[in-house]
Amino acid sequence: MDSIIVRGGVPLHGQIPIAGAKNACLALMPATLLSEEPLTLTNAPRLSDIATMKTLLESLGAEVTAMAGGRVLAMSSHGLTTTRADYDIVRKMRASNLVLGPLLAREHHAVVSLPGGCAIGARPMDIHIDALTHLGAEIELRDGYLHAVAKGGLRGARVPLRFASVGATENTLMAATLARGTTVIENAAREPEIVDLAHCLRRMGARIEGEGTATITVEGVDRLNGATHPVVTDRIELGTYMLAPVIAGGEVECLGGRIDLVAAFVEKLHEAGVEVEETATGLIVRQNGTRPRAVDVVTEPFPGFPTDLQAQMMAMLCTAEGVSVLEERIFENRFMHAPELMRMGARIEVHGGTACVTGVERLRGAPVMATDLRASVSLILAGLAAEGETVVSRVYHLDRGYEELEKKLSAVGAQVERVRAS
């Protein structure tokens, strides 16, 4: 398995281009299943999770062609061959469950494997099931698979979500576009990736109002057409690279960055004394000489502080001045990076869903192990602040969500190098 070696203590200067959002692309790709006409996505990120979704769609009979080095995905679902999403693919990635809503809407039946356990918590599917049941689907769990049928097609309805789940909102939104009548999703998730999905579906002819608010209204149509849609900027990649100069010192412009995508996060950076400037081309982050101040963070659904930036923020707070309290409210068991950061000299105490970080002046390089996608990158960030060499192993997690990480960080002066397993 590959590992990444980081030699810390070098201030960063330059620009980092931010890719299209992995999580938006993973929801946009299954939208192809809703139409017989082609759907083309531009600004797609080049990541292994996107390759997994491609494989899944192809296994259903869709055609997915990656062009322009993977930046453009041309998809067509005119001839689906099956409505069964197999465990072998679904187990690799939870977002595979996003084919359920579209398949039910278009084909009126689907068999989708349950995603199985995930390192960051139980992540059940009850909200998805409840929502699609409101739209008239009958869903049974047999042999580890969800067997879903909508006799005569889905029917629009009022769909209250018990929690503003991102995936359940996306599945329901896609399903509702082809349902008969009006659907009102209440307590909908408001993430930018959902807004992006709604924009794409509207380009395909769907009738949607209220995306980005807690109530989304969808007027079902008989069919959707083809479209071309650019994937929104990845706010998590953006936030991750914005933290790099805060940790290592220096000044970096994240190209394509927008404050509205990361407002709650930027508010915390300001509170920590970090300078963030919006330019015509992106966001500039500056940290010259001084240590950032400790801040308290609570993760919440959008527009709150994103859980997907919690590990990276913790890496930054390890060398901040003072004591920070981080509360994780979205996933249980999402502090697996804490013991690894402690191996680098961080002072962290974890009690259930709360972590208390006492900032130290300096971290020290150490061999550490990546446990999930965001945890992995937090260890790389911490390595930028550490004295000596940090070796992060099991970095395959990183390739799921960060394209060319070594290249992007090296371009701004970081000493980061991948060692390929022989």
d(CA 192, CA 318): 29
d(CA 234, CA 195): 13
Q: How far is the CB of 357 from ligand UD1 (least distance, A)?
A: 21
Stretch that binds ligand UD1, among 61-69, 74-82, 164-172, 386-394 (CB under 6 A): 164-172
Q: Does 168 bind ligand UD1 (CB under 6 A)?
A: yes
Using DSSP's 3-state secondary structure scheme, residue 132 falls into helix
Q: How far is the CB of 79 from ligand UD1 (least distance, A)?
A: 27
Q: How far is the CB of 126 from ligand UD1 (least distance, A)?
A: 5
What x/- string results for residues 315 through 334 when contact with ligand UD1 is judged by CB under 6 A? Answer: ---------------xx---
* 299-318 positions binding ligand UD1, by CB under 6 A: 307-308
Binding residues with ligand UD1: total (CB under 6 A): 22
Q: Does 163 bind ligand UD1 (CB under 6 A)?
A: yes
Stretch that binds ligand UD1, among 32-40, 126-134, 146-154, 316-324 (CB under 6 A): 126-134
**Which position among 69, 79, 122, 351 is part of the footprint of ligand UD1 (CB under 6 A)?**
122
d(CA 111, CA 166): 21
Strand 389-393 versus strand 39-42 pairing type: unpaired
> Which residue's entry shows tokens 């008969």?
180
The two three-digit tokens of residue 115, written as one number: 């995603």
> Which residue's entry shows tokens 């879903």?
148
Q: Does 95 bind ligand UD1 (CB under 6 A)?
A: yes
**Which position among 35, 40, 165, 183 is part of the footprint of ligand UD1 (CB under 6 A)?**
165
**Which position among 29, 56, 111, 127 is part of the footprint of ligand UD1 (CB under 6 A)?**
127
Beta strands in 60-137 (DSSP E): 63-67, 72-76, 84-85, 109-113
Q: Does 381 bind ligand UD1 (CB under 6 A)?
A: no
**Closest to ligand UD1 by CB, 162 or 347:** 162
> Which residue's entry shows tokens 């330059």?
14
Stretch that binds ligand UD1, among 62-70, 158-166, 263-271, 362-370 (CB under 6 A): 158-166
**Which position among 4, 12, 104, 125 is part of the footprint of ligand UD1 (CB under 6 A)?**
125
What residues have CB less than 8 Å from 51, skipping those under 6 apart?
A: none
d(CA 24, CA 20): 8
Please report which residue ranges of 78-125 form alpha helices under DSSP H. 87-90, 100-107
Q: How far is the CB of 195 from ligand UD1 (least distance, A)?
A: 13
CA angle centred on 399, ends 66 and 243, rounded to 5°:
115
Residues 268 and 52: beta-carbon distance below 8 Å: no
Q: Which residue is nearest to ligand UD1 (CB)?
A: 167
Q: Give the other-Cβ count within 10 Å of 334's Cβ.
A: 25
Q: In Å, how far from its chain's centre is CA 92?
A: 15
Q: Does 235 bind ligand UD1 (CB under 6 A)?
A: no
User: b/e map of 295-327 (b: 16 or more CB within 10 Å)?
Assistant: bebebebbebbbbbbbbbbbbbbbbbbeebebe
Catalytic residue check, 25 = no
Stretch that binds ligand UD1, among 116-124, 174-182, 246-254, 409-417 (CB under 6 A): 116-124
End-to-end C-alpha distance for the chain, whole angstroms: 8
Q: Does 123 bind ligand UD1 (CB under 6 A)?
A: yes
**Closest to ligand UD1 by CB, 124 or 160:** 124
Q: Phi/psi class of residue 238: alpha, beta or left (left: φ > 0; alpha: ψ in -120 to 50)?
A: alpha
Q: How far is the CB of 130 from ligand UD1 (least distance, A)?
A: 8
Q: How far is the CB of 321 from ligand UD1 (least distance, A)?
A: 29
Stretch that binds ligand UD1, among 64-72, 132-140, 166-174, 204-212 (CB under 6 A): 166-174
Of the candidates 118, 200, 254, 356, the residue annotated as catalytic is 118
- Catalytic residue positions? 118
Binding site for ligand UD1 (CB under 6 A): 23, 26, 94-95, 121-128, 163, 165-168, 193, 307-308, 330-331
